[in-house]
Amino acid sequence: MSSPEPLIGVFDSGVGGLTVVAALRRRLPRASIVYLGDTARLPYGTKSRRTVLRYSQANVDFLERRGVDALVVACNTASAMALQDLDVRTPYWGVLEPGASAAVAAADRHVGVIATESTVRSGAYEHAIRRLDPGLRVSQQACPLLVPLVEEGWEEDEITERVVARYLEPLLRDRIDTLLLGCTHYPLLRGVLERACGPAVTLVDSAESTSREVERELGKDSGVGADGARSPGVRLFATDAGPRFAKLAERILGEPVALELIDVNGSYGQPQEVEGQ
Amino acid sequence: MSSPEPLIGVFDSGVGGLTVVAALRRRLPRASIVYLGDTARLPYGTKSRRTVLRYSQANVDFLERRGVDALVVACNTASAMALQDLDVRTPYWGVLEPGASAAVAAADRHVGVIATESTVRSGAYEHAIRRLDPGLRVSQQACPLLVPLVEEGWEEDEITERVVARYLEPLLRDRIDTLLLGCTHYPLLRGVLERACGPAVTLVDSAESTSREVERELGKDSGVGADGARSPGVRLFATDAGPRFAKLAERILGEPVALELIDVNGSYGQPQEVEGQ
């Protein structure tokens, strides 16, 4: 139980993946976390598999160069489209399998999945859920406006209520009993999503279920579980540092943050830091 | 009048700049156009000046390697943040100065400018308008949700009406008499914007005014003006080719399109084509 605390690397296309960081910190308060938000090239959710894989590999290479002991792909789009083709030397997790497992555990007959356009098009959540339980029905809905609405800061807003109602309408009409939030930004919309779904639908959040998986693996070996000690810290890198990213990061983590600017250069295996380090 | 027809290069962060291409084709139907949409790295509108400049220079280099005779930066964000620092060998135009001139010509006292967050933050439209007419009042409003709404295909939609009403409310309360559409996507929202503004406000569209400037320069020298001959064609390149880009491109140009995929590689002066050519 006195093994050194691990350094966990987490990346996402933007700052939404900090919902996973927040969940990890609650479960593994003694772990150190280095986070990379590829804000210069977000969103991934409308882009092709090839492009998402190229960007994701550059992010992995950057984090591995920083000596991480484990890696979490906090981006649903990257988890869905690129995870199986990534070249990673450390243990690593995507958010897709943990999210799918949690949905299967919660579901009765019919799971609704909301996600970005690319994640939906990949069909990855549907396949993962059906692999675990072929008897479950799965319906998907792409929700491309939800990330911009969160980034605008309109989480609790009548316009967001209407957009959510429109996206969920076909799922609710088809009587889903479980709703899987298949994008790291969506936990910030939990309030409006819960009100739209009503009490008959269980919401499942892949940030939470992923952090549980990581705790199960790392916590048992290294004594970094939630024993009351405080986190040695989170270091945040971003490939672009507009003021909106810092603002949203603070909303998610609930504390002031400093984003360090870096350039991962967009090509395989050639991360290049130009600032902040 | 028998000089060869020019090849005009146009780039934008995405396919929204095709509104400029559509306007150019109406005015210069005999010109050939090569278009580059940097769809792998869109949007520019939330990113820093440094990142926007780096991406824009890569786009310029790609188009110059294709032998263009003139170049239009159809992206408002790039025009506002990067135009003065670009290294360009051919004659070139941004959309900012033409848009500002048109607004000054139309305005009585008070111009409202709607644009992306980065364009607004740069203050570039405000400075350009005030330089031309220091007596005009200028008010800006960032509208980050309008591009995602257009990309979702909700141009004529009650939700879009509400979002537009909210964004325009402070401008209309302050009695603007002219509204400058400072983003290439916004001409697609002309209907809802006109209804929100009412007849007392004149809408000015920088796609239209930019194409007029290009016609004035190129049309008079090369005989490529609108004399009834049909365009020799438009060739469309994109750095990422999701289905939504092709769909939106078709909505803007009003005809089926083929997007050719290329990689401009993200670094200065090193465009590298991997497909489509």
d(CA B137, CA A57): 49
- How far B265 CA sits from the closest chain A CA (Å)? 7
Select from A159, A265, A267 the Cβ nearest to the Cβ of B159. Answer: A159
Q: Within an 8 Å CB–CB cutoff, is residue A246 touching chain B?
A: no
Selecting among A53, A183, A196, A197, the annotated active-site residue is A183
At residue B266, the pLDDT reads: 43
Question: Residues near B82 by Cβ (< 8 Å), separated by ≥ 6?
Answer: B49, B52, B53, B56, B57, B73
Do residue B46 and residue A117 have CB atoms under 8 angstroms apart? no
d(CA B80, CA B57): 14
Do residue B242 and residue A266 have CB atoms under 8 angstroms apart? no
- How far A263 CA sits from the closest chain B CA (Å)? 10
Do residue A242 and residue B48 have CB atoms under 8 angstroms apart? yes
Select from B148, B158, B159 the Cβ nearest to the Cβ of A148. Answer: B148
- How far A105 CA sits from the closest chain B CA (Å)? 33
> A267: which chain B residues are within 8 Å (Cβ-Cβ)?
265-266
> A47: which chain B residues are within 8 Å (Cβ-Cβ)?
39-40, 240, 242
- How far A259 CA sits from the closest chain B CA (Å)? 13
Do residue B244 and residue A117 have CB atoms under 8 angstroms apart? yes
Mean pLDDT value across residues A77-96: 94
pTM over 0.80: yes
A143 is catalytic: no
Does residue B2 surpass a pLDDT of 70? no
Q: Within an 8 Å CB–CB cutoff, is residue A29 touching chain B?
A: no
Q: Within an 8 Å CB–CB cutoff, is residue A240 touching chain B?
A: yes
Does residue A270 surpass a pLDDT of 70? no
At residue B3, the pLDDT reads: 52
Q: Please confirm whether the linkage preceding A43 is cis (ω < 30° from 0).
A: yes
Mean pLDDT value across residues B160-167: 98
- How far A51 CA sits from the closest chain B CA (Å)? 7
Do residue A144 and residue B149 have CB atoms under 8 angstroms apart? no
Q: Within an 8 Å CB–CB cutoff, is residue A166 touching chain B?
A: yes
pLDDT in tens, A154-202: 999 999 999 999 999 999 999 999 999 999 999 999 999 999 999 999 9
Helix (H) or strand (E) segment spanning residue B181? strand B178-181
**pLDDT > 90 fraction of chain B, expressed in percent and rounded:** 70
Do residue B47 and residue A240 have CB atoms under 8 angstroms apart? yes
Does residue A10 surpass a pLDDT of 90? yes
> A159: which chain B residues are within 8 Å (Cβ-Cβ)?
159, 162-163, 166
- How far B41 CA sits from the closest chain A CA (Å)? 5
> What is the ipTM score, two decimals?
0.82
Quickly list DSSP for chain A. Answer: --SPPPEEEEEESSSTTHHHHHHHHHH-TTSEEEEEE-TTT---TTS-HHHHHHHHHHHHHHHHHTT-SEEEE--HHHHHHTGGG---SS-EEESHHHHHHHHHHH-SSEEEEEE-HHHHHHTHHHHHHHHH-TTSEEEEEE-TTHHHHHHTT-SS-HHHHHHHHHHHHHHHHTT-SEEEE-STTGGGGHHHHHHHH-TTSEEEEHHHHHHHHHIIIIIHHHS-SSSSPPP--EEEEES---HHHHHHHHHHHTS---EEE-B-TTSTT--B--S--
pLDDT in tens, B212-265: 999 998 876 555 555 544 446 899 999 987 777 888 999 999 888 888 988 876
Select from B47, B159, B239 the Cβ nearest to the Cβ of A242. Answer: B47
Q: Within an 8 Å CB–CB cutoff, is residue B109 touching chain A?
A: no
> A15: which chain B residues are within 8 Å (Cβ-Cβ)?
none
Q: What is the set of active-site residues of B? A: 75, 183
Do residue B244 and residue A148 have CB atoms under 8 angstroms apart? no
Q: Please, what is the average pLDDT of chain A?
A: 88
pLDDT band at A263 (very low <50, low <70, confident <90, very high): confident
- Burial class of residue A22, CB neighbours in 10 A (0-12, 13-18, 19+): middle
